[in-house]
Chains A and B, each alone.
Chain A
Amino acid sequence: MSYINDTISNDYSPWSTRSLYHNNNAMSELPEWLSLYINKPHIHDELVNHSGLEPIHWDALFNRLESLSSEDVSGRAIEISQLMQNGNVKHESSKECNFDPLPFMFSKSDWSLIVEGVKQRTQLLNQIQADIYGEQKLLIDGHINARKLYENSNYLREGFSLPNDELKLFFTAVDLYRTPSGEFKVLTDHCQCPLGLGLLLKSRIIARRVMAEEFADCSVLQIKEFLSSFQDAINEYSRYMDDPRVVILTQGIEDPNYNEHAFLSTYFGYTLVQSADLTVREGEVCLKSLQGLGKINVILRWLPDRNIDSLEQIDYSLHGIPGLLQAVREGNVKVLNPFGSGALSSPAIKCQLNKLSELLLQEPLLLSEPNYYDVEQAKTLDWKSLELLSHQDPQFKIDAAAQSEKVKDLINEQPDNYYFQDKAELSTAPFWIKGKLVAKPVIFRCYALTTEHGVEVLPSALCFSQQFSNDAGMAGWIKDTWIHTEKDTDISNAAFPTRLRMDVSLLEGVISSRTAEHLFWFGRYLERSESTVRILRIFIDKYTEAAIYSDPVRTSVVSRFVEAIRSQRIVYPYAENSAIVNESVDVSPKEMALQLLADKQCAGSIINTLEYLCNASKQIQELLSHDSRRMMDDINGQIQQLKNVTGFISTRNMQSLLDRIIGSIMAFNGSITDCMPNSNGWFLLEIGRRMERSIQINALSAALLTQEYEEAEELGVLEAVLSCQISLVTHKRRYRMHQSIGTGLELLLLDAEYPRSLLFQLEQIDDLCRHLPTKRRPGVISAHEKAILLSKTSCSITEKDYLQQSDEGQRQNLIEFCHNIRINLDTFCDVLLLQYFSHTQTAHKLNWTNIEQAQS
């Protein structure tokens, strides 16, 4: 394929590097969707104007893509967007993040320029960081305006009392754009918590899947090495430790970037923690885990440093960890990124970077800053290409020409607070939107890692079409970015440096007590959803049947169910008696069913339980496999359907909705069965599930089987109860000759071998509790074990006939039995909460000593 380069020969023109990606000889070879884009007028486009004299990097891509029709591309786009959505926590505030099916191609030459530039810049920033938190020569000599730096809230005085090593940059990012003349310039540095690495990884994984052939053909530079270096660098900090613990610190699920934190945690295998999971004891940072307090060696923080220590720092935050800085000062924990690096992005330093590079590195910046002007300088300039920024407020930015009156007012009022900069004229790149290519302005975020071996640059970038903001999370359009290499150089079997890496697999996973508690509740909600759906299915079945054949037995079964659901005795919160119900209001079975399905006012309704389930799943997101997360997505979708349910829904539709829900739950159960390492606390999910089932069986028996009726009616109720516990068939087979309430109770409560019996659940719980770290002296049984033992014993020694006995229509023995079991189960849960999950205690700020009055 050959191209004619539309290069303007005039060397003085800033546009001299422009070329036109343009297939002249064989226009027909380019697919229509592509030639349409190329032939459109562009201001300055990456593909059309900046692809260089020999755009082999784009060729490599389009050679592959030329056979695709626009329908093919759209198909890919849809596939990608589905893959992107999987397992993500949805934030109502944040916009969707769209991932483009066309990767961005960097030529080898452009990329090597960027790599050099990013390396140089990172070195420069490191030197500045060392100076402003050390000798301060740059401030004394006036290269950096001291006042402006002091005023910046990211310049942290605490940095001065920390060891020098603690302030070195680790993982940074820089946002670049291309000017019309073809050079790359810098928009922003991200030295604190560089966002987007998780997104980049995720998009790379998807791109490799959807565009496997193109990927191979373009010989794209791999990012694996960089990620290994990243982990090696972290391991380096814990080199001398037997059992190093590395955690990723996130604000929690309310953080718009939580998905990314969870993704990185899964990817690197580091425990994801929130501030409340950590505590500082005697100068060491500890994780509150099920096993007790465990020392932490490295914290990858994704929290701002201004208020990360609520004891030492003046800026107070709920997410602060009191005493953290003291632990850092003592050298007991390494926090990455280091403190105080946010100041590097302050205008006081940013505006001087070009000069500082000349001063410190004796060379100009390869990736220069846009031109900055103070208010005085700007007065003589044309404001058309300028925008006004604030020294104080990093979010502030207004167009100087468009709002010139406002600008004049502002700079007259406080000339020192503002400065001007050249507006960035971003280049555009093609994005696939609604079936065609659209030019959108792009920014490239490049990542750098600083280790003792120097600076390493991630050989890819996050190419995005909209400024990210920390508040709104990742939104807008992104592309995977491919660095094209020539085949032969790539395949050279350069010997990989052997790395000494610990066999991390030998180390047990640690989870915080918070996560442990979420696992327990997750198990309970899982079981609760399942059983509530089953009850509702049986109930709907019964009342539709009764409507057709309305004999007294069927009618009575339905009314007992209505009663039991309405009084919340067989659904959450499993009330022990029905005194609270207002008898005067008559509820039809269908209304009852609807309430239980989709009424938010009804505590135990399916919609509420599923929402609890989804919330709990977000909290343990990083422990779930990709497939399990997809099942949770399905359940999320069903919640949305439930929200739209109205009173006009047909019974048939209700039934099929319930079938789908139970299908998702069963699929989810299947997806986790074989991947639950108990060391990660998964047994707690199982305890939760068994516990909920125990409560459920007990509640069903107590609510529906304690009253004596005519035999036919009794058997009708029993049949329904057994159906709810999927035990009807077993019961029929086992008690072929004679069936009674007694046989039903034997199967449901007393049979230690039957997997759905109460006793069986209790045995399982007892067994699972062995995984809990013991907190007692040998020879003494702890309170939760006692509660289970009591229940187990009473199940084991009770006879079915004893339970069946009735007195004046009431089975007093059964009532008592169920009541005692319930008390013991509640005790078990309380003790578990108190002994193992009691991380919830919150800290109070001690009143500061007031300065007392002096005598005048």
Chain B
Amino acid sequence: MKYKIKHSTTYQYSDFVTLCQNQARLTPKTSRGQICHNSRIEIVPHANYLQQFTDYFNNNVTVFEISTQYKTLNVTVTSEVELLVTANNDIDNLDMSWTEVRDLLAAPNTKELLRTSEFILPSTLTPIETGIKEYALVSFKPEETLISACKGLMARIFHDFKYDPGFSTISTPLSVVFAQKRGVCQDFAHFALACLRSIGVAGRYVSGYIETLPPEGEEKLEGADATHAWFSVFLPGCGWVDFDPTNNVLPSEQHITLAVGRDFSDVSPLKGVVFGGGNSLLDVAVDMVRLE
């Protein structure tokens, strides 16, 4: 499956911005499950400095600076990404229990396991609050395989938590999300990660896109697709396996990975520092079109 994605971010300022410096993680990764054929970033006004580098988590980072005065900033990234048919269909066959995986990660002896063991630690946005471990252990019974336990956890989050776009912001603490059982994809991913990490299983945060289909008989609206977030679990011998607790599915043909990290703060699509500007308004539009 091949997609064309257009992700447009616009900031409107009440006052002139004299200088801004930014880091964008808007170029999709090429990984086991997908190939990013090309990706183009367009910045208006023109950036007078633009460089790319690969960060610790192997994400593509674009660094740019604009020193012309402006009131409106638009960053549009257009990418073509091909999703590969992965072995995900077979993962049920992998009957490694989660405790075995946990023990492997406790004493990492290969580069891969070492890098993975990073993700068993709680992070700033996924603190392990009281009750989280107990919540996790309901799914993670001693003899359970890693995959079935994760599926169970994903399903429980899907059923127990209410999807509520107005409820949370980026600064809503996880404990509130857990107590109220409400939030958006980002909160569910963070919560799932806290569950996994509380019992020593490695999980990472994935930011990306999800294709949306219009209700039957209606035309698809432009800009209606969305950035999305889910979590991913490490299964030795297989690699990272994605789980989408917001939709209770194993991502396969509609999820495109942008960047991965310990939590949202590692993958923030666009962050920056501005001089001047006053108040700002943000608008994000995503279009995801099937090419073949």
Contacts A314-B265, A847-B280: A146 and B227 contacting too (C-beta < 8 A)?
Answer: no
Q: Which residue of A lies closest to B20 (CB)?
A: A846
Q: Which residue of B lies closest to A136 (CB)?
A: B114
Q: Which residue of B lies closest to A843 (CB)?
A: B273
Nearest chain A CB to B107's CB is how many angstroms away? 6
Is B49 touching A282 in the complex (CB atoms < 8 A)? yes
Partner of B228, one of A280, A311, A850, A851: A851
| Stretch from B52-60, B85-93, B94-102, B173-181 forming part of the interface with A | B52-60
| Stretch from B38-46, B144-152, B162-170 forming part of the interface with A | B162-170
Question: B203: CB under 8 A from chain A?
Answer: no
In the bound complex, residues from chain B placing their C-beta under 8 Å from that of A310 are 273
Question: B226: CB under 8 A from chain A?
Answer: yes
**Residues 1-22 (chain B) with a chain A CB within 8 angstroms:** 9, 11, 18, 20-22
In the bound complex, residues from chain A placing their C-beta under 8 Å from that of B124 are 314
Is A853 touching B163 in the complex (CB atoms < 8 A)? yes
Partner of B121, one of A150, A281, A314, A848: A150
Is A150 touching B117 in the complex (CB atoms < 8 A)? yes
Q: Number of A residues whose C-beta is below 8 Å from B?
A: 42
In the bound complex, residues from chain B placing their C-beta under 8 Å from that of A471 are none
Question: A25: CB under 8 A from chain B?
Answer: no
* A181 CA / B206 CA spacing, docked (Å): 57
Is A851 touching B185 in the complex (CB atoms < 8 A)? yes
Contact indicator per residue, chain A 823-856, by CB within 8 Å of chain B (1) or not (0):
0000000000000000001111111111111111
| Stretch from A155-163, A216-224, A710-718 forming part of the interface with B | A155-163
Nearest chain A CB to B92's CB is how many angstroms away? 24
Question: B246: CB under 8 A from chain A?
Answer: yes
Question: B130: CB under 8 A from chain A?
Answer: no
In the bound complex, residues from chain A placing their C-beta under 8 Å from that of B268 are 848-849
Most buried by B among A141, A160, A846: A846
Partner of A851, one of B23, B51, B118, B264: B264
Is B109 touching A846 in the complex (CB atoms < 8 A)? no
Question: B282: CB under 8 A from chain A?
Answer: yes
Contact indicator per residue, chain A 139-173, by CB within 8 Å of chain B (1) or not (0):
11110001100110000011011000000000000
Nearest chain B CB to A392's CB is how many angstroms away? 12
* A849 CA / B54 CA spacing, docked (Å): 20
Nearest chain A CB to B209's CB is how many angstroms away? 9
* A430 CA / B282 CA spacing, docked (Å): 67
Partner of A854, one of B20, B49, B246: B246
* A842 CA / B273 CA spacing, docked (Å): 10
Partner of B284, one of A326, A852, A854: A852
Contacts A147-B121, A151-B121: A848 and B49 contacting too (C-beta < 8 A)?
Answer: no
* A330 CA / B21 CA spacing, docked (Å): 16
Nearest chain A CB to B219's CB is how many angstroms away? 16
Question: B247: CB under 8 A from chain A?
Answer: yes
- List 24 interface pairs A-B (beta carbons < 8 Å), by A numbering: A140-B110, A141-B109, A142-B109, A146-B108, A157-B56, A282-B65, A311-B22, A314-B124, A326-B53, A843-B275, A846-B271, A848-B170, A848-B270, A848-B271, A850-B170, A850-B282, A851-B185, A852-B284, A853-B184, A853-B226, A854-B210, A854-B229, A855-B210, A856-B247
Question: A87: CB under 8 A from chain B?
Answer: no
Nearest chain B CB to A771's CB is how many angstroms away? 27
**Residues 192-247 (chain A) with a chain B CB within 8 angstroms:** none
In the bound complex, residues from chain B placing their C-beta under 8 Å from that of A845 are 271-273
Question: B28: CB under 8 A from chain A?
Answer: no
Question: B63: CB under 8 A from chain A?
Answer: yes
Nearest chain B CB to A763's CB is how many angstroms away? 36
In the bound complex, residues from chain A placing their C-beta under 8 Å from that of B121 are 147, 150-151
Is A852 touching B273 in the complex (CB atoms < 8 A)? no
Nearest chain A CB to B49's CB is how many angstroms away? 4
* A520 CA / B106 CA spacing, docked (Å): 61
Is B108 touching A281 in the complex (CB atoms < 8 A)? no
In the bound complex, residues from chain A placing their C-beta under 8 Å from that of B264 are 851
Most buried by B among A160, A161, A854: A854
In the bound complex, residues from chain B placing their C-beta under 8 Å from that of A846 are 11, 20, 22, 270-274, 280
Question: A329: CB under 8 A from chain B?
Answer: yes
In the bound complex, residues from chain B placing their C-beta under 8 Å from that of A852 are 226-227, 284, 286
Q: Which residue of A lies closest to B49 (CB)?
A: A282
Is B118 touching A311 in the complex (CB atoms < 8 A)? no
Closest 9 CB pairs of A and B: A846-B272, A157-B56, A282-B49, A854-B228, A322-B273, A853-B165, A855-B212, A843-B273, A851-B186
Is A281 touching B111 in the complex (CB atoms < 8 A)? no
**Residues 246-268 (chain B) with a chain A CB within 8 angstroms:** 246-247, 264-266, 268
Is A281 touching B65 in the complex (CB atoms < 8 A)? yes
* A160 CA / B106 CA spacing, docked (Å): 23
Nearest chain A CB to B66's CB is how many angstroms away? 11
Please report B residues at the A interface, Cβ cutoff 8 Å: 9, 11, 18, 20-23, 48-49, 51, 53-56, 63, 65, 67, 106-111, 114, 117-118, 120-121, 124, 163, 165, 169-170, 184-186, 207, 210, 212, 226-229, 246-247, 264-266, 268-277, 280, 282, 284, 286
Is B53 touching A329 in the complex (CB atoms < 8 A)? yes
Partner of B185, one of A841, A847, A853: A853
* A853 CA / B188 CA spacing, docked (Å): 11
Question: A312: CB under 8 A from chain B?
Answer: yes
* A856 CA / B274 CA spacing, docked (Å): 35
Contacts A326-B63, A854-B210: A160 and B275 contacting too (C-beta < 8 A)?
Answer: no
Nearest chain B CB to A576's CB is how many angstroms away? 32
In the bound complex, residues from chain A placing their C-beta under 8 Å from that of B273 are 310-311, 322-323, 843-846
Contact indicator per residue, chain A 312-340, by CB within 8 Å of chain B (1) or not (0):
10100000001100100110000000000
Is A146 touching B117 in the complex (CB atoms < 8 A)? yes
Is A841 touching B118 in the complex (CB atoms < 8 A)? no
* A850 CA / B265 CA spacing, docked (Å): 11
Is A140 touching B108 in the complex (CB atoms < 8 A)? yes
* A158 CA / B269 CA spacing, docked (Å): 17
Q: Which residue of B lies closest to A853 (CB)?
A: B165
* A843 CA / B277 CA spacing, docked (Å): 10
Question: A283: CB under 8 A from chain B?
Answer: yes
**Residues 65-92 (chain A) with a chain B CB within 8 angstroms:** none
Beyond the given pairs A147-B117, A326-B51, A856-B247, 6 more chain A to chain B contacts, judged by CB atoms under 8 angstroms and listed by A's residue number, are A281-B67, A282-B65, A846-B273, A851-B227, A853-B165, A854-B226
* A281 CA / B275 CA spacing, docked (Å): 13
In the bound complex, residues from chain B placing their C-beta under 8 Å from that of A141 are 109
In the bound complex, residues from chain A placing their C-beta under 8 Å from that of B185 are 851, 853-854
* A106 CA / B193 CA spacing, docked (Å): 56
Nearest chain B CB to A139's CB is how many angstroms away? 6
Nearest chain B CB to A681's CB is how many angstroms away? 24
* A160 CA / B284 CA spacing, docked (Å): 31
In the bound complex, residues from chain A placing their C-beta under 8 Å from that of B275 are 841-844
Nearest chain A CB to B266's CB is how many angstroms away? 8
Nearest chain A CB to B204's CB is how many angstroms away? 13
Is B65 touching A323 in the complex (CB atoms < 8 A)? yes
In the bound complex, residues from chain B placing their C-beta under 8 Å from that of A136 are 111, 114
Is A150 touching B170 in the complex (CB atoms < 8 A)? no
* A846 CA / B275 CA spacing, docked (Å): 9
In the bound complex, residues from chain A placing their C-beta under 8 Å from that of B276 are 841
In the bound complex, residues from chain A placing their C-beta under 8 Å from that of B284 are 849-850, 852
Q: Which residue of B lies closest to A314 (CB)?
A: B265
* A852 CA / B275 CA spacing, docked (Å): 26
Q: Which residue of A lies closest to B18 (CB)?
A: A841
Nearest chain B CB to A191's CB is how many angstroms away? 21
Partner of B51, one of A142, A151, A330: A330
In the bound complex, residues from chain B placing their C-beta under 8 Å from that of A850 are 169-170, 186, 282, 284
Most buried by A among B186, B271, B280: B271
Contacts A146-B108, A314-B265: A161 and B170 contacting too (C-beta < 8 A)?
Answer: no
* A774 CA / B33 CA spacing, docked (Å): 59
* A150 CA / B119 CA spacing, docked (Å): 10
In the bound complex, residues from chain B placing their C-beta under 8 Å from that of A282 are 48-49, 65
Is B184 touching A851 in the complex (CB atoms < 8 A)? yes
* A160 CA / B58 CA spacing, docked (Å): 10
Q: Which residue of A lies closest to B270 (CB)?
A: A849
